């Protein structure tokens, strides 16, 4: 045990949801902060991406580093999480976040609207697993 109190699963999940929105909106300082929310060994699966899961903090760091370039289109401006509902479960490590990522849109591009449901397992303040149900937005 460390002397500091680890953030709760709820805090960690909200921090992830918010940080991803900021990253997509262009804040590259989020890359390291987001990777730091995960355990060294983790297991992250994206729905709709049949690729191999992300299994380490390093893989996630590389993934997050690619995000700003992928999501630079105007419709991602002002990207933020809206309508957040967090569900605590009978398993103290397991938490579910429903939310919608929205963007402002720009000119001819309609506003972004991306419903998500992420199921996290958080241990000692770090994400050790998640299943991220979201349709592809890239």
- Nearer to another protein by Cβ, of 51 and 91: the residue is 91
Q: Does 96 bind another protein (CB under 8 A)?
A: yes
Scored b (16 or more CB within 10 A) or e, 71-107 reads: beeebbbebbbeeeebeeeeeeeebbbebebbbebee
Q: Which of 2, 40, 69, 90 binds another protein (CB under 8 A)?
A: 90
Size of the residue set binding another protein (CB under 8 A): 19
Site residues for another protein, window 70-89 (CB under 8 A)? 85, 87-89
Handedness of CA 20, 22, 24, 26 (dihedral sign): negative
Query: What whole-number distance in Å separates Cα of residue 67 and Cα of residue 30?
Result: 10
- Rounded least distance, CB 89 to another protein, Å: 4
CB 9 within 8 A of CB 120: yes
- Nearer to another protein by Cβ, of 90 and 107: the residue is 90
Q: What residues make contact with another protein under the rule CB under 8 A?
A: 47-48, 85, 87-91, 94, 96, 98, 100, 115, 117, 119, 131, 133, 135-136
């Amino acid at each position: 045990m460390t002397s500091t109190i680890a953030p709760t699963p709820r805090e960690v999940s909200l921090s992830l949801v918010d940080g991803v929105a900021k990253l997509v909106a262009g804040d590259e300082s989020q890359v390291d902060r987001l990777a730091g929310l995960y355990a060294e060994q983790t297991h992250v699966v994206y729905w709709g991406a049949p690729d191999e899961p992300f299994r380490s903090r390093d893989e996630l760091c590389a993934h997050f580093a690619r995000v700003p370039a992928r999501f630079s289109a105007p419709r991602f401006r002002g990207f933020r999480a809206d309508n957040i509902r967090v569900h605590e479960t009978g398993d103290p490590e397991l938490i579910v976040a429903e939310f919608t990522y929205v963007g402002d849109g720009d000119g001819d591009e309609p506003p972004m609207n991306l419903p998500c449901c992420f199921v996290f397992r958080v241990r000692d303040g770090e994400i050790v697993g998640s299943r991220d149900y979201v349709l592809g937005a890239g």
